[in-house]
Copies of this chain bind each other. A is one copy, B any other.
Amino acid sequence: MDLPSNILQQAVDQLATLPGVGKRSALRYALHLLRLDEAKYADFLSALSTLKTDVHLCRRCHCVSDTELCPICSSPKRQHGIICVVENIQDVLAIENTQQYRGVYHVLGGVISPIDGIGIRDINIGTLLSRIQYPEVEPIQEVILALPTTMEGDTTAFYINKQLQPFGVKVSAIARGISVGDSLEYADELTLARSIMHRVPFESN
């Protein structure tokens, strides 16, 4: 596709760098932006430019935040004795959406993946350990590992579990099993097996 405007072409090329956006969608976005009135376009641009300058990562849990400490870490209503360890910020939002978890989080920012060149030092494991080392700041009793069930996720969980052993904190992992509403017939064998292995008392189900 050869656009009759180089400037439009550059904007399309940039928009096409967004994850999952192809040239055709990028063109649609660019033409939509072109049609916006000045005020709306200014709003759009300013929201994107403050994004980079004003959004911080929480210095404790590494989730996005407008302040040094994110609303979750600074809330007195949360249980600061339980940390849920997740791969990324989307995972925090997914768990928050359930409205069932009242503890705090720790965002690793990735999982150990030697193929992608991501080692132990490239993700936030060190800061997780130091959170547990200083119980006067946060009296951590339990660490919940909510990492993906991929080789990389399992490796990361295994490593973190090993590192946590000396501190005597309880380490748990989120339950895997058949999704609520799914029929057993179509579940994959691994999931079904785990579902049976980790069965729970009927009353608490």
Binding site for B on A (CB under 8 A): 1-8, 10-11, 13-15, 17-21, 25, 27-34, 36, 38, 41, 43-45, 47-52, 54-55, 58, 63-66, 70-72, 88-90, 92-93, 96-97
Contacts and interface: CB of A to CB of B under 8 A. Distances in A.
A33 B4 contact: no
24 contacts: A3-B64, A4-B65, A4-B71, A5-B65, A5-B70, A6-B66, A7-B51, A7-B54, A8-B51, A10-B47, A10-B50, A11-B50, A15-B48, A17-B44, A18-B32, A19-B28, A19-B32, A21-B29, A27-B93, A28-B90, A31-B64, A31-B89, A33-B51, A34-B51
Nearest to A35: B109
Main secondary structure of the interface of A (DSSP, over half): helix
A4 B1 CA distance: 40
B64 A52 contact: no
Given A19-B32, A28-B19, A48-B45, A64 B5 contact: yes
- Indicate how many identical chains form the complex: 2
A92 B8 CA distance: 14
Contacts of A29: 18-19, 21
* Most chain B beta carbons < 10 A, residue from A1, A2, A44, A58: A44
Contacts of A17: 44
A93 B45 contact: no
Contacts of A8: 51, 55, 64
* Most chain B beta carbons < 10 A, residue from A4, A10, A14, A28: A4
A48 B31 contact: no
Contacts of A54: 7
B93 A3 contact: yes
* Most chain B beta carbons < 10 A, residue from A3, A15, A25, A33: A3
Contacts of A97: 1
A15 B11 CA distance: 15
Contact of A49 (B25, B45, B64, B88): B45
* Most chain B beta carbons < 10 A, residue from A17, A31, A47, A90: A47
